[in-house]
Amino acid sequence: MTIALEELEGADRIVEVERILEKLKHDTVPQWDGNTDSIIRWLSKVNDLASYSPAVNQQLGSIVPRRLQGKAEVWYFSIPLGKHRKLEESWDQLRQEIMEYYMNQTWVDRTKKRARDTQYREAGHAKETPSDYFIVRKKDLLTAVFQMEDSEIIQDVMDSAPRNWHT
């Protein structure tokens, strides 16, 4: 039986947070190369780590920059050093800066178009399963750029689904 961090109090909570921090090695944090096609999934993974505790969120602020590669690394280290210190105070602050730079209006417009145009088993995805289509490709795009209820997401998926999916 595991106990959620939120259920622990006092010294038990401190010990558990320290255990998590000790385990939070640099290679636990996913790398990212600045490819905006993968930013949604990457942000989700880092957000998941950050949700463990405020201490983990804070530590990610200084770990994530060292996990950036390629264009993302070049971008980050072009930011003035004084601003680095502020951004590295927490994942929340760093994430906001990353989103402002990479998820700009051009990205939003392009991603909206991709979300609307993505089709089940389109060219390059001939062998995808319904789960792959929905979880890996369609849902991330829709939720990143549209404020949609679950029922709206389902309707959007069904609108472009093969006939045999309809009941």
pLDDT tens digits for range 99-152 = 999 999 999 999 889 888 877 777 888 888 877 877 777 777 878 887 777 787
Partners of 68 in beta bridges: 32
Report the pLDDT value the prediction gives residue 2, as an integer from 0 to 100.
47
Provide, rounded to the nearest whole percent, the portion of the chain with pLDDT above 70.
82
Per-residue CA distances from 104 to 94, 110, 117 (Å):
16, 10, 20
* For residues 45-66, average pLDDT: 92
Supply the mean pLDDT for the chain.
84
* Three-class secondary structure of residue 32 per DSSP: strand
Task: Name the residue among 1, 35, 157 with its Cα closest to residue 166.
Answer: 157
Torsion over CA of 12, 13, 14 and 18, rounded to 10 degrees?
100
Q: Which two tokens stand for residue 76?
A: 């980050």
For residues 11 and 56, which has the higher predicted lDDT (pLDDT)?
A: 56
Report the pLDDT value the prediction gives residue 138, as an integer from 0 to 100.
75
For residues 71 and 28, which has the higher predicted lDDT (pLDDT)?
A: 71
Report the pLDDT value the prediction gives residue 1, as an integer from 0 to 100.
42
The answer for residues whose C-beta is within 8 angstroms of residue 92's C-beta and 6 or more apart is: 50, 57, 61
Q: What is the Cα–Cα distance from 156 to 120, expressed in whole angstroms?
A: 12
Report the pLDDT value the prediction gives residue 167, as an integer from 0 to 100.
59
Report the pLDDT value the prediction gives residue 76, as an integer from 0 to 100.
98
* For residues 26-46, average pLDDT: 93
Query: Which of 19-28, 29-38, 52-61, 103-112 has the lowest average pLDDT?
Result: 19-28
Amino acid at position 87, single letter: L
For residues 94 and 2, which has the higher predicted lDDT (pLDDT)?
A: 94
Q: What is the Cα–Cα distance from 75 to 99, expressed in whole angstroms?
A: 13
Query: Which of 18-22, 51-55, 102-106 has the lowest average pLDDT?
Result: 18-22
Q: What is the Cα–Cα distance from 95 to 147, expressed in whole angstroms?
A: 20
Domain ranges of the chain: 11-102, 105-165
